[in-house]
Each structure stands twice: as C-alpha cells, then as structure tokens.
Chains A and B, each alone.
Chain A
Amino acid sequence: MATKQREDDAALLAALRAGDERAFERLVDRHQAALVRVARQYVPTQEIAEDVAQEAWLGLLRGLDSFEGRSSLRTYLFRIVMNLARTRGVREARSAPFSSLVRDGEEGPSVEPERFISSPARGAGHWASPIRPWSQSAEQIALSDEAVATVYEAIEHLPENQRRVVTLRDVEGFGADEVCDLLGLSEGNQRVLLHRARTKLRQALAEYYA
C-alpha cells in the first residue's frame, strides 16, 4: 500500500472515530454505488444488494477499532461487502440468471480459432479477415451511453469469475493485487480471467460499432 494511501486512510479513520459526519458522507459518495454493484453480483435483487451495502457500512463502523491497516480502508470495506453478499447469496439461493449457465471455461484460446488463417501456405496464425475499424472515435465511444450500455450488458452475460474480476478491475478500478486478495485468486488466474472478459467485451463493442 502506498504511503499516500496510508496517510489518507489514517486521517479518515481518525475523523470517523471522532464522529465526523462529513468524512462519512464523503466515503459514502465515493463507494456506495460500487458497493451495491459488487453486492449485486452475489444476490438476486437490487433491493437485497442495497440492503447488503448498508450492512457493510455498519460492519465497517463496528470494525473500525479493530482495523489494523494491513489493507487499505477501501479494500477492507469491499471485503466486508463481499463476505456479506456471499453469505446472503447462498441464503437466497441465487446465482446470476445467465452466467451460471455459461461454462466457466478457462481453457483454450479466448479468440475463436476460426478468426485466424490455419493453412501454413497462406500464413497460419494471421487474422483471416481484417479487423474492421470502429465507426466512432475513441472520445465519442467513451462518451456514448450506448457503448456503456453495450458493455454493461455484455458483463452481465460473462461467466461469473470473469464478471467479478472485470468488474473490480476495469469498472471499480482496483489493482491486480487487491483483486487477487479480494477474490482469492492467483495472479496468473486473475490475468487469464481479465483477459478473457476483456476479449468478450471488445467483441460486444465490435459487433455494435464495426
């Protein structure tokens, strides 16, 4: 954990322990939406996810005195919400409606072999057909609600492990180390899951834009 992060966390902890409402509100603004999104991956409804997020806040406050700062406060908060959401998810006998039906394959290539030339005489391993450029600029795409909605929906359809990794990494912005820690994954496994997820999300955008 970076020194800056540790100092920020120490100041925040002191403020919370002193009952500073503003400090708590800032923390809520920063993390509430993400907590609900993460919880939602384990529980069947948005309402339950919001409920779990609220429980997580209470868990954070109650645990403040025993928080030792081994991880960042953010990682600590997300560990709490994920533990609560997992337990709640089991109780509600949930799994994601689509993703649980998808085989969680981590074997084989992430891009279909048919996309590449197979004949050695014609240059095996090269793209069989050109990568079509996207019709909009990088800026237009990043600002486009449709693009964001396309990716959001594609994430919903990912196998569970890939969905969890890409949500924490690319949506919420956690680092690789934190994600390995939160999800109990090896570094190699995290990379594979992230790669497979990103490949599918790119494909979803390609179908939309090309």
Chain B
Amino acid sequence: MSQRILEDFQPGELTCRQLAELVSDYIEGVLAPPLREEIVAHLTGCSDCSAYVEQMRRTIAVTGEIAGGEVAPSTRASLLALFRGWAGSP
C-alpha cells in the first residue's frame, strides 16, 4: 500500500496525498529514516498536513479511552467461584 503510493515519489516532492497514506506508519515510527525525514520536512511547511497528523494522534488517544470497564459484582462472584472450583480440584 505505502509502496504503491510511493511509486512515483521523488525525494523532496512528497505530496499531501502521499503523506496521508503514510501517517499511521509515521506515528508508529516504523518508516525508514529517509522517508521519515521527508515527512518532517513536509510538515514544517504544510499546516494542513500538520493538522491532519495531529488529528490522527488525537483519534488514537480517544480510541484508547474506550478501554477499561468495571467488572460487575455478579461476574466477579461467578469468576471467583470458578477459580475456587479450579483451585480446589485435585
């Protein structure tokens, strides 16, 4: 995917369209250094892509907020019963 979008990539000429396909890999830190540097250079001069990358980071942060959740007392009780049954079995 990122390979295809970069087929016609020229150093120093990374477009917003190409960057949009690399943004997740960029945030992940898995891009090769030359490409990462291209992105950093592009972001310095492009407020739209800077906003886009920032919004992607916020999206990931919000997604992480879905995690968690209390264990209902009834669930806790039945899981503990299960554990006691297992621990007490030979």
Number of A-B contacts (CB under 8 A): 158
B16 and A199 form a contact (CB under 8 A): no
**Contact between chains at A130 and B15 (CB < 8 Å):** no
Interchain nearest-CB distance for B49 vs A (Å): 8
- Residues facing B in A154-210 (CB within 8 A) are 155, 166, 170-173, 176, 188, 191-192, 194-195, 198-199, 201-202, 205-206
Q: B39-78, CB under 8 A of A: which get 1 and which 0?
A: 0000000011101101111111111111111110001101
Cα(A144)–Cα(B18), bound, Å: 31
* CB contact between A116 and one of B17, B80, B82 (< 8 Å): that residue: B17
Residue contact B62 to A142, C-beta cutoff 8 Å? yes
- Chain B interface residue count, CB cutoff 8 Å, equals 48
Using known A-B contacts A57-B79, A58-B82, determine if residue A176 contacts B28 with beta carbons closer than 8 Å: yes
Q: Which residues of B contact A201 (CB under 8 A)?
A: 59, 63
Check if B20 sits within 8 Å of A172, measured CB to CB: no
Give the number of residues in A that approach B within 8 Å (Cβ atoms): 59
A201 vs chain B, min Cβ distance (A): 5
Of A37, A116, A171, A173, which contacts B16 at CB under 8 A?
A: A116
Do the beta carbons of B87 and A19 come within 8 Å of each other?
yes
- Residue contacts A-B, CB under 8 angstroms, 13 given: A19-B88, A33-B68, A36-B69, A54-B79, A106-B1, A125-B17, A127-B49, A131-B49, A131-B52, A134-B55, A138-B57, A142-B62, A194-B24
A→B interface (CB under 8 Å): 19, 21, 24-25, 28-29, 32-34, 36-37, 50, 54, 57-58, 61-62, 106, 109-111, 113, 115-116, 124-127, 130-131, 133-134, 138, 141-144, 147-148, 151-152, 155, 166, 170-173, 176, 188, 191-192, 194-195, 198-199, 201-202, 205-206
